[in-house]
Amino acid sequence: NERLAKATAAMNVAAFPLADKQLTSLITDNPSYAEAWNKRATLYFLMGRLDDSLADIVKVLDLEPRHFGALSGRGMIYQRQGKNTEALAAYKEALSMNPNIVGPRIAVKQLEKLVPEL
């Protein structure tokens, strides 16, 4: 947890290369630590490395299939890529895990208005 906190602190000040190094090291040492994979997926999203972020999200969901944060992140990436059908499915899956998260709920409403047949 301490190593994850240090990487998060680096992310918060936009020290992305340092955060990447810290998170990759943490993942190497603890490959079953889903939250480290998720944090690196978030970092890659912030860096615009969407394919790398998606790859880490796949790993998060392999380790923790109910990780609604990873599902929400997948929706955000798909939405940014213009893959509205996939984004909507990811957001709905996130909401099925946690119906109280606001971001995916708003995104679902927006996507349903944008493309009513979804």
pLDDT in tens, 33-73: 999 999 999 999 999 999 999 999 999 999 999 999 999 99
Q: Which two tokens stand for residue 48?
A: 């615009």
Q: CA-CA distance, 42 to 51, in Å (whole number)?
A: 12
pTM here? 0.92
Residues 107 and 91 sit within 8 Å (Cβ to Cβ): yes
Smallest Cα–Cα separation from 73: which of 108, 111, 38? 38
Q: Is the pLDDT score of 113 beyond 90?
A: no
Residue 110: partners with Cβ closer than 8 Å, 6 or more residues away? none
